[in-house]
Amino acid sequence: MAEKSPPNHRWSVTIDDFVRFLVAKTGDAKCPACGNGQWTILGSGETNHAYRVNTSLRDGGATKALNTFAIFCDECGYAREHLSRIVKLWVEQNPGPEQLELDDLDDLDGTDSDER
């Protein structure tokens, strides 16, 4: 029996989509601490999902959380974070080539993928 993948959280994105976002928004950005240009994404190669980092924010009574995706500099470890909702919105507005191909197949068979 095949194992089921855990359901995606509404802010989850694949590592490939996060890379596309980073290239589009930051290009070949260098580390502000050491100038290195090599970064590693916090994520899982097994599931191809970028890990979401949850940071608790406390100011008074209610605890809130900041939900981000993170990368770190391979040279000095400097960490950089991007808000999950901003990344997810960009990914939805800029589908990857594989999603465009699936959309084209839907157009060919006359059905809308939302109808399935």
73: in domain: yes
At residue 73 the predicted structure's pLDDT band, cuts being 50, 70 and 90, is: very high
Q: How far apart are CA 52 and CA 107, in angstroms?
A: 33
Number of structural domains (the chain) is 1
Report the alpha-carbon distance of residue 109 to residue 105 in Å, rounded: 6
Task: Give the chain's end-to-end CA distance (angstroms, integer).
Answer: 25
Q: Per-residue pLDDT for 8 more than 60?
A: no
| Adjacent-strand bridge partners of 2 | none
Checking if the pLDDT of 113 tops 50, the result is no
The pLDDT of residue 10 is above 90? no
Residue 10 lies in a domain: no
**Residue 82 within a domain:** yes
Question: 3-state DSSP call for residue 19?
Answer: helix
Structure confidence by residue, pLDDT tens digits, 80-103: 999 999 999 999 999 887 665 555
Residue 3 in domain: no
For residue 1, being part of any structural domain is answered with no
6, part of any domain: no
Structural domain contains residue 89:
yes
* 91 within 8 A of 16, measured Cβ to Cβ: no
Q: Residue 107 sits in which domain range?
A: 15-115
Residue 57 has pLDDT above 50, yes or no: yes
pLDDT of residue 1: 43
Mean pLDDT calculated for residue range 54-75: 86
Closest to 81 in 3D by CA, of 51, 37, 48: 51
Burial 58-82 (b: 16+ CB within 10 A, else e): eeeeeeeeebbbbbbbeeeeeebeb
